[in-house]
Every structure is written in C-alpha cells, then in structure tokens.
Amino acid sequence: MKKAILITGSTDGLGLETAKVLAGSGHEVLLHGRSQAKLQRAVEIIAAEFGVSPAPSFCADLSDFSAVSGLVQEIQNLETAPDVVINNAGVFKLAEPKLASGLDARFMVNTIAPYLLAKELSASMNEEGRMVNLSSAAQAPVSLPALRGELELGDNAVYAQSKLALTMWSRHLATTLGPQAPTMIAVNPGSFLGTKMVQEAYGTAGADIGIGADVLSRAALAEEFGQESGRYFDNDAGRFASPHPDALDAAKSAEVVETIESILQAKLIK
C-alpha cells in the first residue's frame, strides 16, 4: 500500500538517500529542508529519477521556534496526514550554537523540534502510522541546565546528550500517548555513515549511507517494527537493543519531557 512519508532534513545525505529508497518503492515522499534552493533541487531529483509528480515539500529552519510551529501547521493543513514521519534532521557542529532565544541550537534541532513534531503530528495519525526518530550509538546522561541553555557544552557532549534525550522522549511518548497513537521508535541508523555531518565532525568518508537508508525504510514500513513502539533499534547490532539506562528510567525520561515542555510553553508553542 502506498504511504505518504515525511522526512525532515531530506535535501541531502541520509535523508535524501532514504527518500530515494522510499520513492523508488512507490511511496509519496514529502521532503523538508531549511534551504529553499536545496529543497527545490531535492524535489526535482526525486521527480526526475522516479517519474513522479512533486509531492508537497516544506522549508523550515528547525532551530527557529516560529518556523517549527509554522511547519507543524503546514503539515496539519494537508488534506491527508502523513502515514509516516521520519525525524531525520540533525546537527553536530555549529560555528555559533547559541540562539537568540538563549537555547543551544544543537539541542533545539536534535531534541526539541523533533519532539514538537512527533507530539503534534501524532494527533493526526493512528496506530497504523509510524514515527521514526533518529537516535545514535552516542548517548550520554542529559544535563537539564544544558538542555535549557543555561550551560555550554562541547559538540560531542551535546550530540550524545541530545540523542539520548530524543531516545528518552520517544519511549515516554510511546507509553503516554495511548494505544491509538502511531508506533514510536528511536533508531540508530548506523555509526559513522558517510554523511556530511560525519565528514565535518571526524574528517572521514564514512560507511555507505545506504546502510542507514535501508534501516530507516524498514522502520517506516516493515512489519517487524510495527509492534515495537517505545523501543530502540541499534543498526550497529542489527536488532532492537537496550539504549542508555537513563532511557529506561521513567522518572528521568519524564524530567526530560517536562523540561522540553517548559521550554515550549515559555516560547508560547502549544
């Protein structure tokens, strides 16, 4: 059955490669990017390679609260809600991570924006839908002051904490949104894949990004993922596995979610 699949950060790298895999399988892919020029190019690539009419696409900077809120509204205004959302967009290193809001842009893009998308868009989806959230093998205990923008941390620390926070809220939402909510899964697509992020961070070409695109496509569609809401899939191991212990701690996960919610409320995002 043809699915409508939204992929954030899909103008290049793993996001675009995943879009190609899914479009090549006959699904309608809704692209997102922060650059209109790159987004248009990605739309043209998908349309040309697979002979499909351009699907709706969305341009929004996920480090900007108003842009994220606008993106949510745009997607909710679609005639039909997406069947699957893949929260792929992420950042590792930024020249100036401090936002005018006081928050760290790396936490904003990797943790807070995808949380808002997952929570709000889940309301328009049902239990047959999927919410696939990109985690990482890099996971470290979350500093709530850093998440609130009160403590500055280095790139590696923020990345690992932001990905654990995402894994924590994925499990929390899976257990609190109820049985009619979409399947909510955190996925490590594979370590050191050949993305721009890995190249910039570590100066290495990295492994075949097709490895990641394959598992994200499976997470979006395959039956093996359909009954695993709240779990973490580690593609390095090729199976569902235990995330960092903090992600299995309901109280700690609730603290992370409460912190994110307080940030959103402070910015008048509901």
Strands 239-241 and 232-234: antiparallel
Q: What are the CA-CA distances from residue 173 to residues 117, 123, 188, 206, 256 (Å)?
A: 12, 12, 18, 32, 12
Task: Give 220-244 pLDDT, tens digit per residue.
Answer: 999 999 999 999 999 999 999 999 9
Over 50: is that where the pLDDT of 270 sits? no
Q: How many domains does the chain have?
A: 1
Task: Give 156-180 pLDDT, tens digit per residue.
Answer: 999 999 999 999 999 999 999 988 8
| Domain span at 41 | 4-266
Q: What is the DSSP letter of 183?
A: E
pLDDT at residue 53, as a whole number = 86
pLDDT above 90: percentage of residues in the chain? 88
Q: Which spans in the chain are helix H?
A: 13-24, 36-50, 65-76, 105-107, 113-122, 144-147, 155-176, 196-202, 210-221, 223-226, 250-266
> To the nearest whole number, what is the mean pLDDT of the chain?
94
Task: Give 182-233 pLDDT, tens digit per residue.
Answer: 999 999 998 767 676 766 666 666 678 899 999 999 999 999 999 999 999 9
One-letter amino acid at 265 equals: Q
When mean pLDDT is compared across 53-57, 130-134, 218-222, 261-265, the lowest value belongs to 53-57
Residue 228 sits in a domain of what CATH number? 3.40.50.720
